[in-house]
């Protein structure tokens, strides 16, 4: 391997010096969100589980969306003979909690090591990965440079703004991307942008959108039946993955809709349920009645606060209309693909820096509407409440678009397997 350009060497020195201070901030945040203190040292590369014998593939995603997008590929790998061990790393407490529920049996989760030499040295010495698979835009210089194995960038995404930043890096971008053995991009536009940074055509191709190929979140049939029974014939809509600043806007939308649909129920599922008490106060201040999932209540009020983790599959199946948040405020939006197969019409706002290509794909298939202001959201919801067939058609189109993304999984699994060392038969 050639020596990294000066800019990357400077980055490495700064990252190594900053790691202890950064760890203290991350540790406190993880603990505040329910992580056991002993597990926080995983961010420094200290393993808390043994390494199984045999070949091991390390998947790394930043948070919930990126990690879950790896699940369909992981499932395809585990279906092969002599399947490797799968290790998944992520950085947030929420991702750890959800992956604990969603990872296939036998897979391992650890918090990702910081991009510092010491943390990565400990991590690699313990886990000895045979292949590193980075998800989407998780391009960490020292993680890539110190990997003791081939490195793949999977489901790669690159916004125009990110591409412009990469182009300013010049030789550093070319060197770093040159360390990647294989890149599978979400779209041809992303592949073209990466080629412009110096990626040789033989090492990059366009593949399926893996977030769309992932299995949707599950729901207990008995609980789903109970929820639908409690709601009865009431119309309902879901506001999912909302952030601070959005709930007040969405409550105004709901109040406007109640004027023409007085039985309407809003199921409000915030991105971070630990904000639930503050949201409950907002609901009370808006003059709306409230029941809460965390209290064991049923949805009998004007607003049902779905303040639990791991139940999004239930809410998407319950509501024929879904607004996905992080998009009325500058949070970048959220993945629509979890909901797409589950029979709900999809709407979102205009702040979609994290997932614009996903929403564009669905919109082109007439499976979603994006770019909505609160007033436009009110109008769209009112139209679909008055004519449910519009919502049913949109939901059907979204499900068909998601199903079309599953065809590339076998090829991806074969490409990753080909990069592993031969199985030891001794």
For residue 2, give both structure tokens: 């050639």
Q: Could you list the active site residues? A: 66
Q: H or E element: which one contains 124?
A: helix 117-127
Contact predicate 157/61, CB 8 Å:
no
For residue 426, what are the contacts with CB-CB under 8 A and spacing of at least 6? none
Question: Residue 270 and residue 288: Cα distance in Å, rounded?
Answer: 17
Cβ(72)–Cβ(214) under 8 Å?
A: yes
d(CA 140, CA 26): 17
Q: Per this entry, what is the length of the chain?
A: 426
Alpha helix stretches (DSSP H) within 3-103: 6-32, 64-69, 71-78, 93-102
- In the sheet that 85-90 helps form, which strands lie side by side, from edge to edge? 108-111, 85-90, 56-60, 131-135, 151-156, 182-185, 204-206
Q: What span, in angstroms and rounded, lies between the C-alpha atoms of 277 and 312?
A: 19
The C-alpha atoms of residue 174 and residue 194 are separated, in whole angstroms, by: 9
């Amino acid at each position: 391997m050639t020596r990294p350009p000066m800019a990357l060497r400077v980055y490495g020195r700064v990252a190594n010096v900053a790691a202890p201070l950064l760890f203290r901030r991350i540790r406190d945040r993880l603990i505040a969100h329910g992580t056991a203190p002993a597990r926080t040292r995983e961010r420094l590369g200290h393993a808390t589980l043994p390494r199984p014998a045999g070949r091991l593939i390390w998947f790394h995603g930043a948070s919930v969306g990126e990690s879950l997008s790896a699940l369909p590929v992981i499932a395809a790998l585990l279906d092969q003979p002599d399947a490797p061990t799968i290790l998944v790393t992520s950085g947030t407490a929420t991702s750890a909690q959800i992956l604990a529920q969603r990872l296939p049996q036998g897979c391992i989760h650890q918090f990702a090591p910081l991009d510092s030499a010491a943390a990565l040295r400990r991590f690699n010495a313990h886990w000895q990965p045979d292949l590193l698979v980075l998800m989407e835009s998780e391009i960490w210089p020292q993680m890539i440079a110190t990997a003791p194995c081939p490195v793949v960038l999977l489901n790669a995404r690159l916004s125009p703004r990110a591409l412009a930043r990469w182009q300013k890096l010049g030789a550093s971008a070319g060197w770093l991307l040159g360390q990647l053995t294989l890149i599978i991009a979400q779209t041809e536009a992303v592949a073209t942008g990466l080629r412009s940074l110096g990626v040789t055509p033989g090492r990059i191709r366009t593949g399926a959108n893996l977030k769309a190929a992932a299995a949707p979140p599950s729901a207990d049939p008995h609980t789903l039946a109970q929820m639908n029974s409690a709601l009865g014939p009431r119309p309902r809509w879901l506001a999912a993955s909302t952030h601070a600043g959005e709930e007040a806007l969405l409550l105004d939308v709901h109040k406007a809709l109640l004027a023409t649909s007085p039985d309407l129920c809003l199921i409000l599922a915030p991105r971070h349920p630990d904000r639930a008490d503050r949201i409950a106060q907002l609901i009370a201040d808006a003059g709306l009645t409230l029941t809460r999932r965390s209290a064991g209540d049923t949805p009998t009020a004007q607003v049902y606060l779905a303040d639990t983790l791991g139940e999004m599959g239930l809410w998407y199946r319950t509501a024929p209309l879904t607004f996905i948040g992080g998009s009325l405020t500058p949070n970048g939006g959220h993945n629509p693909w979890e909901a797409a197969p589950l029979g709900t019409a999809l709407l979102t706002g205009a702040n979609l820096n994290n997932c614009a290509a996903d929403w564009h794909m669905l919109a082109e298939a007439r499976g979603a509407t994006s770019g909505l202001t609160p007033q436009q959201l009110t109008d769209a919801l009112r139209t679909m409440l008055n004519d449910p067939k519009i919502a049913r058609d949109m939901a059907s189109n979204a499900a068909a678009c998601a199903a079309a993304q599953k065809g590339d999984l076998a090829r991806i699994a074969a490409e990753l397997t080909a990069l592993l060392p031969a199985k030891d038969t001794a």
